[in-house]
Amino acid sequence: KMRGGRGPALRGPSAASTSRGTGRKGCGSSRGQGRGRGPQSDTQLPRFRQPGSIAELLATLPVGATAKDVGDLLVHEPPLPERAWTEVIGALGRRHRWDLAVAALAWLRAEGQGANEYHYSATISACEKAKQWQAALVVLHEMRELECDGGPIPNAFCYGAAIGACEKGGEWQRALTLLDGIKGNRGASAPTDYCYNAAIRACAAARQWETALSCFEAMRSSGTCPPNVHTYTAALGACHKGG
């Protein structure tokens, strides 16, 4: 009877199967616990909005909004990483809200969040898209002043966006001055093809074909930025307009 009584117990799950079952149960429970820990850890981290949604929020501000208006609107938002602010300012530029891009940059500086060269470049590009050459030059001038105090140094992209803004505003002489400014700036890299092409197009629009060709020759002899198809198109356009 004792042996028979043990029979049913021996025909039950073996120790190996029990351990495998327990193992599977343990793994399942641990995965469940892992999933359970996810939301808890997420609540410990700030939940950031997507840069696009922040840009949409800022776009509700009226034209002429200030840095204070930007701060008041974002008072309940968790701080964004620096890289995300570059995307926000870029999104504002695509919306042609250059005024908000400038206000957002001013707010970043006022809040001490560290406006860097990418933020400035995106802001100048926003001014360029909206054909606001004066605003673009103001931002670039501000950047130059901050450079003296250890701030971000204007790079070729900042200058390129400013030159493009001057091109769109018909300010060919200012475009050439900025092109020369890149070469004299210790922190800026060599002028890019965009810098040269925008300057040549600015001269072409003003029928300054000789100056455009001089700029073309400077690009060819630079040794760092060979002319491309856009360069030749702009130079030929300058000659055509100049007769």
pLDDT (tens place) for every residue of the chain, 243 residues total: 444 444 444 344 444 444 444 444 444 444 444 444 444 443 443 455 788 899 999 999 999 999 999 999 999 888 888 889 999 999 999 999 999 999 999 999 988 777 899 999 999 999 999 999 999 999 999 998 988 788 888 988 999 999 999 999 999 999 999 999 887 666 667 889 999 999 999 999 999 999 999 999 999 998 889 999 999 999 999 999 877
- Would residue 59 be called left, alpha or beta, if left means φ above 0 and alpha means ψ between -120 and 50 degrees? alpha
Per-residue model confidence (pLDDT) at position 142: 93
Per-residue model confidence (pLDDT) at position 175: 97
pTM, two decimal places? 0.77
Q: How far is CA 120 from CA 28, 63, 142, 151, 225, in A?
A: 51, 20, 10, 11, 24
Q: Of 83, 162, 174, nearest to 129 (Cα)?
A: 162
How far is residue 147's CA from residue 2's CA, in Å, rounded to a whole number?
Answer: 93
